[in-house]
Homo-oligomer: A and B are copies of this chain.
Amino acid sequence: MSDASWINDVQFDDSGLIPAIAQDAGTGVILMVAWMNAESLAETATTKRAVYWSRSRKRLWRKGEESGHQQIVHEIRLDCDGDVILLKVEQKGGIACHTGRESCFFRRLDGDSEAASWTITDPVLKDPELIYK
């Protein structure tokens, strides 16, 4: 854990976590949202590689550790309430999502109200079985 003063401005929730948005530093595309604890945020700031906290695996998740799809961190931003982190990153391999897509936000709501449905708009760039081999 870091005792750096900047981390005291970060408002972690009751579980000690904060959501972090990863945005492509070049294109502005929102790639994904994951969670960080203080340790993962401190390591991200030091190494300039995105490190999250995996809620399912309950351990640090160094993005790309299995897939090779690391995120090189250009900027770390904090919102006005101090309870959301924004990372501007260079996405290695051009794929952030575990489905093999650039972005996790690949579904768009189309149609009106009750009759609307989610349309998959983004292509799979690489078969996940080849990513996580």
Binding site for B on A (CB under 8 A): 2-6, 9, 19, 21, 23, 27-30, 32-33, 42, 45-46, 75-81, 84, 86, 97-99, 101, 104-109, 112-118
Contact = CB atoms under 8 A, between A and B. Distances in A.
B117 A104 contact: no
B30 A30 contact: yes
A99 B76 contact: no
A73 to B, nearest CB: 10
A4 B118 contact: no
Q: How many copies of this protein are present in the complex? A: 2
Contacts of A21: 21, 30, 33
5 contacts: A5-B117, A19-B33, A45-B113, A76-B108, A78-B109
B108 A80 contact: no
A109 B77 contact: yes
B32 A29 contact: no
B104 A33 contact: no
